[in-house]
Chains A and B, each alone.
Chain A
Amino acid sequence: MKVFIKNKQLLIGSIITGAVILIAIFAPFIAPHHPVDDANLLYALEPPGGEFLLGTDRQGRCQLSRIIYGARISLLIGFVTQGLNTIIGTSLGLIAGFVGGKVDDLIMNFTNIMLSIPPLILALTILAILGPSLLSIFIALGLTLWTYTCRVARAQTLSFKEKEFVEASRSLGLSRIKIVIRHILPNIFGPLLVIATFGVATAILLEASLSFLGIGTQPPAPSWGTMLSRGRDYIYSAPWLMIYPGLALLITVLGVNLMGDGLRDYWDPRTR
């Protein structure tokens, strides 16, 4: 039973995430319309059904197509920024844990300071300085969410540092970098992957929040956050504009989170 529940999380999570990834990749083939160029005011605010399965927006663009293309933005931002975070967080964590001493203090103090600023506010401020663009979002989110990875990487490194096989390779005269790459990194890979998976979900939500506040992804790109923020004006007359992008966001984040849960159970069976 336990195993079944455990597998089910990973299974469902992977299916959902995989589906969203496929949708994003094959968007041009799946989407019935172009998400930007097919604006036609004559079809503005058509309700769901008929030619437009999920209705149209103010500009008369097919919402289904926009949601499908929106998956590209969400996933791109989720994966790229989390990639950046993992690289930054892991490197700093490894250095802090392995070198120790003053370097450790310096890095961890910095991490703790960064950790004390809410990520959304930090990202908002970075975006305000850089001006909104896709690159700025990568930078803003990439510089924001690495702290947790860093702490985990450090803690894991510390726990492996004194292990016999590390001691042994050290006495064999292996260089520090080689020890880290060959022995420590593979051992801490699991927990880091778990953190990274959750991080993707966080990054997707953060992008949506920033776009909702109007400083995220640039229109006319169909970001789910932007769609939601615009849709709320139509809560009475065109509720589909608010409901479906929200659902798309919920399902995607849910899939990634479930996958994270499943992965965590796999690497750390102690916590269920």
Chain B
Amino acid sequence: MIALNKKLVVFGLVFILISFLVLTGEVTAEERYGGSLNAPLPYGGTVGTLEPAQTSRIQDFITIGQIFDRLVRVNPDTLEPEPAIAESWDVSEDGKTFTFYLREDVKFHNGEQLTAHDVKFTFERIMDPVEASAQSDLLENIAGVAEFREGEADEITGIRVVDDFTIELTLQTVDIGLLLNLAHRGASILPQQAVEEQGAEFFINPIGSGPFKFVEWIRGSEINLEAFEDYYEGRPYVDELSFKVMPEAASRTASFRAEELDMDIVYPAQFQEFREDPHYQDYLIDVPELWTRNIHFNLDIVQDKRIRQAFNYAIDEELLVERLLYGMAYPAVGWLPTTSPGFNPDLEGYSYNPDRARELMEEAGYTPDDPYELTVIGTDHPAWGVEVVEAIMPMLADVGISVTPELVDGATWMNRVTTGDFEAGIHSWGGEVSPAMYMSNYFWSRVSREAGNYVGYSNPEFDEYIEKALETVDFEERMGYVREAEKILVDDAPVWFFNYNRAVAIHHPWVHGLVENPKEMVYQPFKDVWVDETSPRK
């Protein structure tokens, strides 16, 4: 018996050792240079523009992020700003002046050196009224912007070139968001000389300082990039990076399975399939994303708080997440998602309670036989569009809310919501790293409906906390205000809190180095991604 056991032990040890070797062998496989990577542009039919400040579409920013670089970047793990072109920075005591020290080895793809003059040029171009930049908001708080815009000043006084590699930004008010704004892809640094020489043509054949060089843009189909040898953090692993425009989830999956794409963004329907597929299930990466899905109520129309609360009580979010989204989300409690630094695990939301919902509706004067009628506009998105509304119709009918879905395209949705021409609308919001801004962007009464306060929310108590949060530099104190504000928000229920997104990507076994980026899954650090010999494009 003992002998046998010894044998077993030895056998077991050998087995463990071998499997350990095999496993570690796989884990520490050498990073490899070469090959090419095909990634999708999944969010629309085309790429609009490659001019960083002239777009607000993630579809465009995916490519822009690879061609251009920014002063700072956001670490996907900590969500804190970290050095990029600026290797360090100082903040003045009053918190209003930032001095950035740039790296001296940053080159543009044409070989020119990136200096503080390029930074100043880029920022002034973003604020130039002639350009009417879509992203001018990012730098709105810099001192002297108003004078520059009105034509009273030739330059923005708050942007000062100290020497070739030092630049100083002075703000009008203390702003916790500046570094995050500078990390935004809309604030990518342009080469002054090339832009001035080429004008608008520049952005058809753009030159940046990012890890990948622009090669060609086949409209509506693909954008091809190649590795930039002189990138200041070393060249990317892959030689070529190709972005394929593929808005249709079904054709994208087909392309992925046909090995034409190396990675893909997964929608609920595909998630369910991949999860059950032994060939693919190990190559799914997922992350709770910084996006909140919900139905916005137009508060001018859905004025009765009881109706909004009843709406929240009436729906079984857990069932929806499980059966409609196949687990690809986390039921929402409040506004801030789990990955946000401001997430409050103790927050009390609306659990599924149809009886309470019926009570509230009766108090408000409605019954299932004489229901409250509401039209909800939504797009055709499978996870936050009219299909969700169609699924919740019976639950709401049960408590006395009769919902009519209305399908609109994205542009119309935006237009109707920003002009207040809607009763309620379903959508997905977020991507904002700062919790205070994640809230203020949508609910601060000083933000106009056009600009993000789509519901038309106005609660002085909430405003007070949000304003304090926006001005407070100390993190813990700031989070305290954010939590108070969110409590008020949840009680007022200006939205139906549906879910926090769980973003899922899938890749083939030969792709290594993809990360879980909660800000946006397609915002991958492609320079760190490499492919091994089993890739068809090695």
A and B touch in the complex (CB under 8 A): yes
Comparing B78-86, B99-107, B207-215, B318-326, the segment that makes contact with chain A is: B318-326
A218 B406 Cβ-Cβ under 8 A: yes
Nearest-CB residue, chain A, relative to B323: A41
A210-221 interface code vs B (CB 8 A; 1 in, 0 out): 000011001110
Bound-state Cα–Cα, A166 to B248, Å: 58
Nearest-CB residue, chain B, relative to A241: B269
Bound-state Cα–Cα, A37 to B371, Å: 15
Is B10 interfacial (CB 8 A cutoff)? no
Q: CB within 8 A of A214: which of B267, B397, B409?
A: B409
A39 B394 Cβ-Cβ under 8 A: yes
Size range of the interface on B? Answer: 20 to 34
Chain A: minimal CB distance from B42 (Å): 13
Is B137 interfacial (CB 8 A cutoff)? no
Q: Could you say which residues of chain A place their CB within 8 Å of the CB of B387?
A: 58-59, 219, 230
Q: Could you say which residues of chain A place their CB within 8 Å of the CB of B254?
A: 235
B266-286 interface code vs A (CB 8 A; 1 in, 0 out): 010110110000000000000
Residue tally, chain A, CB below 8 Å to B? 27
Nearest-CB residue, chain A, relative to B386: A219
B267 A233 Cβ-Cβ under 8 A: yes
Evaluate whether A58 and B386 lie within 8 angstroms (CB atoms) in the complex, with A235-B250, A236-B273, A237-B273 already known.
no
Q: CB within 8 A of A220: which of B273, B320, B405?
A: B405
> In chain A, residues 172-199, which have Cβ atoms closer than 8 Å to a Cβ of chain B?
none
Bound-state Cα–Cα, A21 to B308, Å: 43
> In chain B, residues 324-374, which have Cβ atoms closer than 8 Å to a Cβ of chain A?
324
Q: Could you say which residues of chain A place their CB within 8 Å of the CB of B250?
A: 232-233, 235
Evaluate whether A39 and B409 lie within 8 angstroms (CB atoms) in the complex, with A44-B324, A233-B382, A237-B273 already known.
no
Is B58 interfacial (CB 8 A cutoff)? no
Q: Could you say which residues of chain B place their CB within 8 Å of the CB of A126?
A: none
Bound-state Cα–Cα, A236 to B256, Å: 13
Is A234 interfacial (CB 8 A cutoff)? yes
A234 B324 Cβ-Cβ under 8 A: no
Bound-state Cα–Cα, A41 to B388, Å: 11
Q: Could you say which residues of chain B place their CB within 8 Å of the CB of A11?
A: none
Q: Could you say which residues of chain A place their CB within 8 Å of the CB of B270?
A: 233, 236
Bound-state Cα–Cα, A232 to B252, Å: 11
B386 A236 Cβ-Cβ under 8 A: no
Chain B: minimal CB distance from A6 (Å): 42
B390 A219 Cβ-Cβ under 8 A: yes
Extra 13 A-B pairs, beta carbons < 8 Å, given A36-B393, A37-B393, A237-B273: A37-B394, A37-B397, A39-B391, A42-B319, A42-B323, A44-B324, A59-B387, A214-B380, A218-B406, A220-B390, A220-B393, A233-B267, A238-B269
- Which 8 pairs between the two chains have the least Cβ-Cβ distance? A41-B323, A233-B269, A232-B250, A59-B391, A237-B273, A220-B390, A44-B323, A214-B380
